[in-house]
Every structure is written in structure tokens, then in C-alpha cells.
């Protein structure tokens, strides 16, 4: 292979050439260390999205500490491997002298892990009052677990090393002088010869083994130790990936642990691929992007996210809004906006508190919910089901861990085994039905189904609504191809209305858990999904908040469909708009500090996207408020229509930036829900009582 251009012959300053070579050779290890630093900083940069990620119990702090240390240790090991054998792989010759690994360089590589651990301890102590002493004890236990895995790798190397008398330990994990004598004694154990010769057998069969094996085909010691370290990392992988499913319900690891495991896999996978393909100067990142793009145009569908759907019975049994409001003098309609677990908890809190008012449950005829509001509405509607605590407390249960687990141990299969993950999932499901979770959407769906007594469908709920046992329920979703709403519902809307239910549009039904998770398909957290029916496999559904995050659009469609019957009975109608976030402060936004101020050119690029995201929320709020005012005017001669806001108040202890947007509530954030009802609840309750005449 041709030699690289030397620093002395390059037309650039020496430090630029050395820096470029350093970054290019260690690029994925450096990126992983920077990812750890960024991960540790996310609760400070965006507390609404990332605080729940670091809210851990003491035992979880121990596991997270061990994995964070192992990720940083993996980066240090891969960089040391490239330093030792990269020149032979890329330039054709080893460096004459390479300084030994020192404790100072190893500890420097562990600094990003220390930042992640410190953030986890700080957040857990501050947000959930975890005792600091217990957090530090389990932190130390996690560090000990990481050391155990490192020494297991050293033991494995001692067993596999070809030399049985005095194995030459490479210093890719710890300095050579730090190898303990009782580790060396493993080499004297009676080990079969074929195991001792395994490294030579593998090395002699490697294609293009320059940089991997010597002239006689024996693997270099560093690669052998890297292999045993990777095998040792499979122990926590097996525990977090499969053993946790043995429990009932599954004891999913913290989402932070899943992310750290994924980083550990990526640093070894990408560094290994780069080390191999850099011999031919093949840019791995460019090739990966091209392969991913070409796979998208392939006639074979390599992967897809699905939810189970089945044809509706023929002829379908119809239930119209007029059937629910017939003869009712007072009708209440609820529109619950989206917003992750904050919306779920606040929606369930409002509905459960108001259900204590005599006559509220009888007057409530429709709930139109979006995203997190759909989760809260599901808990309210199924409040009679047996479960841990009342519905408003069930809605606060974390949904973050199953999503993080599935992202690391199920969705990443699409990266590791493109085109084969369906076969692996089918084989695994045969051996172990409980492990049949193909993606993070299915994991979220299974977690939600725990709160249902059985696999309820909307046909079941239709019969309950017909008997007056529950209101009409709309779990709003959005069709990707058309941008139109497609709410899942237990009733039908007339064909003349612009909003049509999923069942009427596509003549298929789905389980309640599927509908809720599709309605709550938070961007990038839960994937867009298609029905399992071949007729609609091209159809993709996403979060209903893309079309209308307030739920008012579908609620007004229900009102329009029920209007003839409401007009005949001269009914009074109250629409309760549940808003789960505190109001934005009046006045212009504060100017950013000089430290966070972006360059002018970057502001020009980001301004259109920022304006689009900002107006998505404010524009929907203004348009729905205007629509409600116009509805009151248009229906004034037919019915007595009014509406109120059940808004999460602006608490003095809560900044709008701290209100969670993910699927986890810390103990502190759960107390905010109670404090918010204490402040805003009496006013909301007073208005509802006045409407019901109580």
C-alpha cells in the first residue's frame, strides 16, 4: 500500500497535519467521548427533555456508573489499539517506539464518564431526594463492577494467550506494570491446546491481516485482549437485553443505561470497521450513508414499523354522536392537548378530580385527546380496571425505560443486521414470546396495555358507549402522506364532516393500546407505524399533534355532528380545554447571553426552522381560540355553548423550561402536579359545578 504523506513533505504547518491525522485515526473514539460530555450537559441545556433521563434510583446509579466507565474505557482501549497497530495497518510499518500507557492518560479518558455519573447523582439527589450517601455507595459499587469486567477481560486473555508460561499482557486496558500476579497465574491453568492456538487459527484466516497478525498468523496481543474485553461486555448486554424480561412485569433498565450500552457497542463496531477499511482508504461514513440511501429505494422492504389491525365487521355497527347526547340537558366535551407525560399526568388529574363532582361523568359525552393527553384519557376511561393506585397516579408512571431499552436492544438490530432483524425477531419470539418486542413503538404499546384488563378494541368500547358506560373517545393521529387527521374512536362521525375516524376511512380496527401509542408517537421517540394489513401497509400514522395538538378540531367535529339533537333538546354545552403547560410570560423574550449567542450566518439558517416550530404551538393556540369564539357565535341561536381552560398554572417554583416533555416524571415534578391542582383546581371545579348546577 502507498505510504501516507509525511508531515515534513506536507504543504501545511506541522501541527495541522498532526491534528488532522490524530482526529482522522481516532475519530469515532473522540466522537463518543464528546457524546458523553454532551449527554452529561443535556439536563442543563434542555431540562424539559433530559432531566428524566438522569433521575435514577440508587441501584440504577450503580449500573449507570459501571456502563459510563466502560464506555470511556472502551474509547481509551480503541485509541490505544489504533496507536499500537494503526501505523502497521495504514503505513506498512510499526512505529519504532511507542510510549507506554500511563494512569494519567487513562484517567483523562474517564473524565467524560465522571461527568455523566456526576450529573446522574446530582439530578437524582435534587429531583427525587435520593440520599446522597446511598448514591455514593452504589456509585462505588458500579465502579467496582466495571473493574470486575475489565479483569474478566484480562483473565480471558490469560486463558487464550498462546504463551502459557508468561503471557505478554498488552497495555490497552491498564498499564502493563499494574497487572496483578494472581491474574498471571491463570496462564498456568490446564487449558486445552486448541484454545491456546485459537488466536493463531483466527489470525491465519483473516483476509488482509496487516495490522492484525504477525507474519506467522498469530493475532497481535492487543487485538486478542480487545476481543476478550468485548466478550466481557456481553455480560451486562445479556443481563439488560434478555434477563430483565424474565421478571413480571419486565424490569426494564434505566434509559440512560440503554443509551450507554448503545454507545459502547457503537465505539467498538465503528472503530473496528474503520480500522479494517481504512487500509483501502474507504470512507466508512460516506459508504454507510450511501448504503442507507440505496436501501431506501430497494424493492424489498428491509424494515418497517407496524401495528396490528384487522378488518371491521360487515356490516359495521354504527354509533353516531347524536345517539350519545339524545335527551341530555347538559353536555360536557373535553379536549386534552399533547405534551408527553406532563400532558398525561395533568389530563388524568383534571378528569379524576372533576369526576368527583356529582353529575360530571353522566354529562361527559366526548374526550378528544392528543399525544400525552391520550395516555391520560386512557387511564381515566379505564379507571375501574384493577391496577396500582388511582388513574391519576397511574398516568404518572414512567414510560421512558421501555423506549430506551427497545432503542438499544431492538431498534439497533436494524443497524447491526440490516434485512435480517425480522428473522431474528421471529426466531426469538418462538423461543421466548415475552421477548417479542420488535421496536420501541411495540415496547411502549405493551407498557400501556398493562393498564388494560385485556386487549380492548374500539368495538368493545363502542358497546360500552352505547350502554352509557363511557363517553366517546378520540385518540387523534395524523396520516403522513396526506397530513389529514385520523382519530381512532369508538363512535362514527358523519361522512360530511372534514374529520373522519380511522375506522371509517380505512375500514380496519385496532387495539386501544395501539391507538394510544400511535396518538402519542412523540417525534423520534416512538416511530411512525403502518397497519399490519397488506392493503394499507403503505399507510403511516404519526402523533396527532402534527395536525392539531389541542384536540379542539375533533371535539368541534363531534359537536357539529351532535348539533341537531342538541338543538332539539335546547342543551347547554361546555367544552373543557385541558392545557398542560404554564402560560408563556408576557413581553418580549429575554436576549440570549453572549456565550450562547449563535453567529449571524447560523441564525439566518436556523431562523426559518425556529419560527416554524414556534408558530406551530402559538398558531394552533390562537386558531383554536378563534374557532371556539366563532363556534359560540354560530351556535348561539341553537344551543348555549361555552368553553373554559383547565390550564396548568404558572407556579412560582416552576420555570416553563423545566416542565417535562419526555415520558418520565421525577418526584419533584410529580409534586408540581399536586401543587398545580391546589392552585388552579378550585377555580376549574367552581366553573364546572356552576355549569352542572351543583
* Residue pLDDT, tens place only, 384-420: 776 667 888 999 999 888 888 888 887 776 666 555 5
Domain match, 363 and 249 both: no
375 assigned to some structural domain: yes
Domain match, 531 and 609 both: yes
pLDDT digit string (tens) for 435-474? Answer: 566 678 888 888 888 887 666 788 889 989 998 889 999 9
C-alpha–C-alpha distance, residues 377 and 351, integer Å:
8
Average pLDDT for 567-578:
93
Domain match, 209 and 324 both: no
Average pLDDT for 514-539:
80
C-alpha–C-alpha distance, residues 391 and 387, integer Å:
8
Domain match, 489 and 567 both: yes
> Which pLDDT band holds residue 595 (cuts at 50, 70, 90)?
very low
- List Cβ neighbours of 51 (8 Å cut-off, separation of 6 or more): 43, 123, 127, 658, 660, 666, 669
**How many domains does one find in the chain?**
2
pLDDT digit string (tens) for 191-214? Answer: 666 666 776 677 667 777 788 887
C-alpha–C-alpha distance, residues 120 and 51, integer Å:
9
Domain match, 220 and 323 both: no
Q: Which of 216-225, 229-238, 240-249 has the lowest mean pLDDT?
A: 240-249
C-alpha–C-alpha distance, residues 32 and 623, integer Å:
44
How many other CB atoms are there within 10 angstroms of residue 286's CB atom?
9
3-state helix/strand/coil string of 299-356 = CCCCCCCEECEEECCCCCCCCCHHHHHCCCCEEEEEEECCCHHHHHHHHHHHHHHHCC
Residue 275 is part of which domain span? 22-283
Q: Where are the alpha helices (DSSP H) in 242-318?
A: 255-277, 284-296
Q: Does residue 605 surpass a pLDDT of 80?
A: no
Q: Does residue 74 surpass a pLDDT of 50?
A: yes
Higher pLDDT, 669 or 318: 669
Provide the pLDDT for residue 188.
Answer: 59
Domain match, 318 and 224 both: no
Domain match, 257 and 319 both: no
13 assigned to some structural domain: no
Query: Residue 478 phi/psi, 5° resolution?
Result: -125, 135
Provide the pLDDT for residue 315.
Answer: 64
> Which pLDDT band holds residue 366 (cuts at 50, 70, 90)?
very high
Domain match, 224 and 331 both: no
Provide the pLDDT for residue 66.
Answer: 95
Give the percent of the chain with pLDDT over 70. 77
17 assigned to some structural domain: no
**Grid cell digits, residue 614:** 414556534
> Which pLDDT band holds residue 679 (cuts at 50, 70, 90)?
very high
Domain match, 230 and 356 both: no
Provide the pLDDT for residue 420.
Answer: 58
Identify any residues that bridge with 366 across adjacent strands, giving them in sequence order: 333, 472
Q: Report DSSP state, residue 589.
A: P
Higher pLDDT, 608 or 492: 492
Q: Are 296 and 414 in contact (CB under 8 A)?
A: no
277 assigned to some structural domain: yes
Domain match, 184 and 239 both: yes
How many other CB atoms are there within 10 angstroms of residue 622's CB atom?
11
476 assigned to some structural domain: yes
**Grid cell digits, residue 72:** 470511556
Q: Does residue 349 surpass a pLDDT of 90?
A: yes
Q: Does residue 563 surpass a pLDDT of 80?
A: yes
Provide the pLDDT for residue 425.
Answer: 62
**543 three-state secondary structure:** strand
660 assigned to some structural domain: yes
Nearest-10 crossing angle of helices 221-241, 255-277: 150
Domain match, 353 and 472 both: yes
**Residue whose C-alpha cell is 500511563:** 102
271 assigned to some structural domain: yes
Provide the pLDDT for residue 596.
Answer: 47
347 assigned to some structural domain: yes
Using alpha carbons, select from 694, 539, 516, 549 the residue that is nearest to residue 616. 549
Omega of the bond leading into 40 within 30 degrees of 0 (cis):
no
Provide the pLDDT for residue 274.
Answer: 85
Average pLDDT for 133-137:
95
Q: Are 489 and 472 in contact (CB under 8 A)?
A: yes
> Which pLDDT band holds residue 591 (cuts at 50, 70, 90)?
low
CA dihedral sign of residues 681, 686, 687, 693: positive
Q: What is the CATH number of the domain that holds 423?
A: 3.40.1090
Q: Does residue 308 surpass a pLDDT of 50?
A: yes
- List Cβ neighbours of 509 (8 Å cut-off, separation of 6 or more): 309, 310, 311, 312, 457, 458, 459, 503
Q: Distance between terminal CA atoms of the chain?
A: 88
Domain match, 62 and 201 both: yes
Pairing of strands 309-311, 508-510: antiparallel
Amino acid at each position: 500500500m502507498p505510504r501516507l504523506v509525511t508531515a515534513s513533505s506536507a504543504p501545511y504547518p506541522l501541527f495541522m497535519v498532526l491534528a488532522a491525522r490524530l482526529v482522522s485515526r481516532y475519530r469515532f473514539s473522540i466522537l463518543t467521548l464528546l457524546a458523553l460530555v454532551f449527554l452529561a450537559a443535556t439536563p442543563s441545556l434542555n431540562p424539559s427533555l433530559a432531566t428524566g433521563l438522569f433521575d435514577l434510583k440508587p441501584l440504577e446509579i450503580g449500573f449507570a456508573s459501571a456502563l459510563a466507565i466502560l464506555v470511556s474505557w472502551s474509547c481509551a482501549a480503541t485509541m490505544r489499539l489504533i496507536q499500537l497497530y494503526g501505523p502497521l495497518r495504514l503505513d506498512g510499518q510499526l512505529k519504532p517506539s511507542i510510549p507506554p500507557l500511563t494512569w494519567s492518560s487513562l484517567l483523562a479518558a474517564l473524565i467524560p464518564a465522571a461527568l455523566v455519573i456526576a450529573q446522574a447523582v446530582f439530578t437524582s439527589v435534587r429531583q427525587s431526594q435520593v440520599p446522597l450517601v446511598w448514591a455514593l455507595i452504589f456509585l462505588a459499587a458500579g465502579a467496582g463492577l466495571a473493574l470486575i469486567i475489565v479483569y474478566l477481560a484480562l483473565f480471558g486473555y490469560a486463558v487464550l494467550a498462546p504463551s502459557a508460561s508468561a503471557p505478554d499482557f498488552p497495555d490497552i486496558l491498564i498499564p502493563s506494570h499494574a497487572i496483578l500476579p494472581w491474574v498471571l497465574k491463570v496462564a498456568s491453568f490446564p487449558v486445552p491446546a486448541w484454545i491456546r492456538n485459537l488466536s493463531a487459527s483466527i489470525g491465519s484466516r483473516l483476509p488482509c491481516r496487516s495490522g492484525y497478525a504477525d507474519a506467522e498468523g498469530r493475532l497481535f496481543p492487543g487485538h486478542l485482549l480487545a476481543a476478550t474485553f468485548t466478550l466481557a461486555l456481553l455480560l451486562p448486554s445479556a443481563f439488560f437485553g434478555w434477563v430483565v424480561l424474565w421478571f413480571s412485569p419486565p424490569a426494564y433498565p434505566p434509559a440512560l443505561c440503554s443509551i450507554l450500552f448503545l454507545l459502547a457497542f457503537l465505539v467498538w463496531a465503528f472503530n473496528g470497521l474503520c480500522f479494517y477499511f481504512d487500509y483501502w482508504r474507504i470512507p466508512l461514513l460516506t459508504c454507510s450513508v450511501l448504503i442507507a440511501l440505496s436501501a431506501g429505494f430497494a424493492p424489498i422492504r428491509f424494515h418497517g414499523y407496524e401495528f396490528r389491525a384487522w378488518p371491521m365487521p360487515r356490516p359495521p355497527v354504527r354509533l353516531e354522536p347524536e345517539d350519545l347526547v339524545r335527551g341530555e340537558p347538559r353536555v360536557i366535551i373535553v379536549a386534552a392537548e399533547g405534551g408527553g407525560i406532563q400532558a398525561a399526568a395533568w389530563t388524568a388529574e383534571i378528569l379524576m378530580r372533576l369526576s368527583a363532582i356529582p353529575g360530571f361523568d353522566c354529562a361527559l359525552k366526548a374526550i378528544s385527546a392528543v399525544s400525552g393527553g391520550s395516555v391520560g384519557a386512557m387511564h381515566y376511561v379505564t379507571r375501574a380496571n384493577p391496577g396500582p393506585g388511582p388513574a391519576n397516579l397511574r398516568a404518572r408512571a414512567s414510560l421512558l425505560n421501555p423506549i430506551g431499552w427497545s432503542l438499544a436492544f431492538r431498534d439497533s438490530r436494524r443497524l447491526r443486521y440490516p434485512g435480517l432483524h425480522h428473522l431474528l425477531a421471529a426466531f426469538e419470539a418462538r423461543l421466548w414470546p415475552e421477548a417479542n418486542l420488535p421496536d420501541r413503538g411495540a415496547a411502549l404499546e405493551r407498557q400501556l396495555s398493562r393498564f388494560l384488563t385485556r386487549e380492548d378494541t374500539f368495538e368493545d368500547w363502542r358497546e360500552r358507549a352505547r350502554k352509557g358506560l363511557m363517553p366517546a373517545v378520540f385518540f387523534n393521529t395524523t396520516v403522513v402522506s396526506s397530513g389529514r387527521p385520523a382519530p381512532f374512536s369508538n363512535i362514527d362521525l358523519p361522512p360530511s364532516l372534514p374529520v373522519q375516524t380511522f375506522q371509517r376511512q380505512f375500514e380496519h380496527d385496532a387495539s386501544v393500546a395501539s391507538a394510544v401509542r400511535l396518538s402519542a408517537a412523540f417525534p423520534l421517540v416512538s416511530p411512525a407505524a403502518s397497519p399490519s394489513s397488506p392493503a394499507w401497509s403503505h399507510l403511516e400514522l404519526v402523533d396527532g399533534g402534527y395536525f392539531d395538538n389541542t384536540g379542539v378540531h375533533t371535539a368541534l367535529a363531534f359537536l357539529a355532528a351532535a348539533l341537531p339533537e342538541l338543538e332539539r333538546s335546547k342543551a347547554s354545552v361546555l367544552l373543557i380545554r385541558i392545557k398542560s403547560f404554564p402560560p408563556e410570560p408576557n413581553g418580549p423574550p429575554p436576549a440570549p447571553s453572549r456565550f450562547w449567542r449563535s453567529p449571524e450566518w447560523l441564525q439566518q439558517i436556523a431562523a426559518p426552522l425556529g419560527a416554524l416550530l414556534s408558530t406551530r404551538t402559538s398558531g394552533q393556540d390562537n386558531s383554536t381560540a378563534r374557532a371556539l369564539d366563532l363556534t359560540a357565535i354560530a351556535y348561539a341561536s341553537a344551543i348555549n355553548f361555552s368553553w373554559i381552560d383547565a390550564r396548568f398554572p404558572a407556579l412560582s417554583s416552576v420555570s416553563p423550561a423545566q416542565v417535562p416533555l419526555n415520558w418520565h416524571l421525577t418526584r419533584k415534578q410529580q409534586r408540581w402536579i399536586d401543587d398545580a391542582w391546589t392552585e388552579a383546581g378550585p377555580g376549574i371545579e367552581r366553573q364546572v359545578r356552576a355549569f352542572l348546577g351543583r
